[in-house]
Structure 1
Amino acid sequence: MTARVLVAKPGLDGHDRGAKIVARTLRDAGFEVIYTGIRQRIEDIVSIALHEDVAVVGLSILSGAHVALTRRTVDALRAADAGDIAVIVGGTIPQSDVDTLLDAGAAAVFPTGTPLEDLVTGVRALTVPSATS
């Protein structure tokens, strides 16, 4: 079964070149990718994630609001009884915020400049069942 990944642009950030590159890279690596487009509300991202039965929600954030948007997304997924959906975050993320994002519930963080191979490997690790499961 192919893992489904939602790539979303929450908030008012209107720049989506990186999100489109990520979506295409994951698609080419064998994932089924749903891309929301720009300026999405957290509630809509969660609704799409549930409707599309995704394993991962990838947030692409360049606006500087990555901590608040990640917390709100994780909390909204948990409130929808979908806390098992992994949330990953990418974009303009200072290294000093990585631990804060992980503490907020992000499963992985991919700051600008992360090699695309590392992104694919990271998403694959979140979606492939372990041998002990």
Structure 2
Amino acid sequence: MSTQEQEERTIRCLIAKVGLDGHDRGAHVISRAFRDAGFEVIYSGLHRAPDEIVQAAVQEDVDVLGISILSGAHNTLVPKIIAGLEEYDAFEDTLILVGGIVPDDDREELLEMGVSAVFGPGTPMEDTIEFVRENVHERK
């Protein structure tokens, strides 16, 4: 696929709320910002299990998986999602983003396991959108 074809193709995103975290304002804000930027956005809804998120990402054939998490369970839940994506051979083709409250010490661990970026509160939407455009994987 040429660079021009890649730019013309709509970027498909799944914004997911994993676990018992019920704080979804940030997920709604980023969903709207992505939609306004021209991305196709699917929102998982609240309280999704890691396997539900994996199934949705695979079935919807998304380019970007944005995981919104404020519960502090990122070190438990994100690895389960990554493992599930790997089982479906979808990990390499999916840009994985984590947004929410993540301590600095945990950010590095998430990046090492394959998360592409961690965005905390106050990150300008333009920065996140630009990151996606610059880093979304070329589809096979």
What TM-score do you get using the length of structure 2 for normalisation?
Answer: 0.87
Q: Is the 8 A contact 1:67 1:104 kept in 2?
A: no
Whole-Å Cα distance in 2 between the matches of residues 125 and 105 of structure 1? 17
Q: Secondary structure at the match of 2:54?
A: helix
| Alignment counterpart, residue 117 of structure 2, candidates 105, 108, 113 | 108
Residue type at the aligned position of 1:122: F
1:73-92 to structure 2, matched below 5 A, reads 73-83=81-91, 84-92=93-101
Mark the runs of 5 or more structure 1 residues left unpaired by the alignment.
none
Mark the runs of 5 or more structure 2 residues left unpaired by the alignment.
1-8
Whole-Å Cα distance in 1 between the matches of residues 105 and 130 of structure 2? 23
C-alpha displacement at 1:128, in angstroms? 6.4
Asked whether 1:66 is paired with 2:83, we answer no
Asked whether 1:120 is paired with 2:118, we answer no
Asked whether 1:29 is paired with 2:13, we answer no
Q: Secondary structure at the match of 2:46?
A: coil
Give % identity: 49
CA root-mean-square deviation: 1.2
Q: Is the 8 A contact 1:60 1:90 kept in 2?
A: yes
C-alpha displacement at 1:126, in angstroms? 2.2
Q: Is the 8 A contact 1:86 1:106 kept in 2?
A: yes
C-alpha displacement at 1:87, in angstroms? 1.2
What TM-score do you get using the length of structure 1 for normalisation?
Answer: 0.92
